[in-house]
Structure 1
Amino acid sequence: MTKVKLIVASKNPVKVNAALTGVQMVMPSYELEVDGISVPSGVSDQPMTSEETLKGARCRAENAKNVNPNADFWFGIEGGVDKLDGEMEVFAWIYIIDKYGRNAKARTGTFYLPALVSNLVDQGIELGVADDMVFKKENSKQQGGSVGLLTNGAVDRTAYYTQAVALAMIPMINEELYFEENTEKNSTL
């Protein structure tokens, strides 16, 4: 069985488990090893636009590769919010770099925050802290997150990110369709 090493640009167990599970879904015949490392995102603690969130995911993946260059894939997972028609939507970007420097990305689905939470975020409070305040929880972002709180646990933060990780892996597992350099030596797998 071929070993594949994944580095997740976070020590948050939600993000580490989502990366591992998402890759397991699309690469079931590989032995996966995953490590989480803390690196800066290069964006604010609470990204407020899709563009800023994607930049944070990309910076995390790049910084993780710089800190730990011995892997097959580096994952940046960044949650963010944006305003759409006066409502605050929540989503995350997944950004992956492979050992050849190629990249791929995907975004989760979106959902909308209740006014009690979005008003706190508008005041500069990070979403996880705002959730803890409104729902009287502690460290919810390393558990079910907003999505878990708002769906009564039907969709937790790990599951929410996992599907997007699998989607971001599409170019990596179909490289002949996505990357020009289709030589044997450049094969990710």
Structure 2
Amino acid sequence: MAGLRERKKARTHAAISDAAIALFLEHGFDQVSVAQVAEAAEVSKRTVFAYFPAKEDLVVHRFADHESEPARVVRSRPPGVRPLAALRDHFLAGLRDRDPVTGLNDLPQILALTRMIMETPALRTRAVTFQDGAEQALAAALHETADVPELTARLAAAHVVRTHWLLAMDNFDALLGGRAAADRHPAAVADAEHAFALLADGLGTYV
């Protein structure tokens, strides 16, 4: 019975988010009210807020899993693999697989959604908040699994998370400019290799 309830909650969660994003992409985030989202999803406004405490959560929750992703990569790396090498390999794999978090996904809805986040101040602010959370989680993972001193772990995490963001935004900007993901991929890989080489020069002794 509990499993059935959880599946029903998951379906409701997805239905509300899908309805919201469809409305936001059509009319603009600031032009759509939570009441309109509720009507489109055929639920009450109270139900919307039960699943999504803030309007911004209707969009950015889709990126929530990525907040702890760098930390998960570090914690699950194979024995003998340095944290920075694991993070580099993971980012390169994301480019290959067109993971939206790398900025290298040219599906129209992904591009439209990312563009909306970048161009809507409230959503962009929430995206930056995810970066803060990613830094904290990654710093903890480095400190706890790689014996990196706490301050060094925090500094390293800030560099890594900011590098991820910069690389992703460069890729996203290239796609918005009309490049296909497949055409951008070689340059995206070269940029990532260069960026991680610079990180290794500065942080390699520690991570």
Q: Return the index of the structure with the highest Cα Rg.
A: 2
> What's the TM-score, normalizing by structure 1?
0.29
Which structure shows the higher helix fraction?
A: 2
> What's the TM-score, normalizing by structure 2?
0.27
Which structure shows the higher strand fraction?
A: 1
